[in-house]
């Protein structure tokens, strides 16, 4: 299955991480690749990095690689060893030109379940088995809050 979380609302990565936790709880092997993010924010590690590492979930971050393309290539090489693969901000990496929309087709050939996130839709994304659009109705950022520890990082 290919699952996609897209839209302008907060919660796409959170949904993917929730699936990761559920899969891990069922003894599935999980790989989480953060194509556009680093594991640190404001001189601390982000919560998902800390939690995934404590659970023993393998994580790949942009700071460990030079480009999102290198992360994708490593994910494709590692894919046979995993049951669930999260490609966080895959859609955004496509929007920014780091990946091509055609790269999505490579995911269709994987045996593992794959989750892609990011605020961007493209024709190839229609091949996903599930597409959920997260829509922003109200956000505390508009009141001046930026990066709340434990909620955003």
Which pLDDT score, from 0 to 100, does residue 151 have?
84
- Kindly report the pTM of this predicted structure: 0.94
pLDDT digits (tens, 9 = 90+) for 21-50: 999 999 999 999 999 999 999 889 999 999
8 A C-beta contact, residue 86 and residue 19: yes
Task: Please indicate whether residue 152 or residue 104 has the higher confidence score (pLDDT).
Answer: 104
pLDDT digits (tens, 9 = 90+) for 92-139: 999 999 999 999 999 999 999 999 999 999 999 999 999 999 999 998
CATH code linked to domain 2-143: 3.40.50.300
Task: State mean pLDDT over 133-151.
Answer: 88
3-state secondary structure of 73: helix
């Amino acid at each position: 299955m290919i699952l996609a979380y897209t839209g302008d609302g907060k919660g796409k990565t959170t949904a993917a991480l929730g699936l990761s936790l559920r899969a891990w709880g069922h003894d599935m092997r999980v790989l989480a690749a953060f194509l556009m993010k680093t594991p640190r924010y404001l001189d601390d590690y982000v919560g998902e990095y800390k939690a995934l590492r404590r659970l023993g979930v393998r994580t790949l971050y942009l700071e460990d690689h030079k480009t999102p393309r290198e992360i994708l290539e490593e994910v494709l090489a590692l894919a046979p060893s995993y049951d669930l693969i999260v490609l966080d901000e895959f859609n955004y990496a496509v929007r920014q030109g780091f990946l091509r929309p055609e790269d999505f087709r490579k995911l269709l050939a994987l045996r593992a379940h794959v989750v892609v996130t990011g605020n961007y839709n493209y024709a190839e994304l229609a091949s996903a088995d599930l597409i959920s659009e997260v829509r922003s109705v109200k956000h505390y950022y508009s009141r001046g809050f930026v990066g709340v520890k434990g909620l955003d990082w």
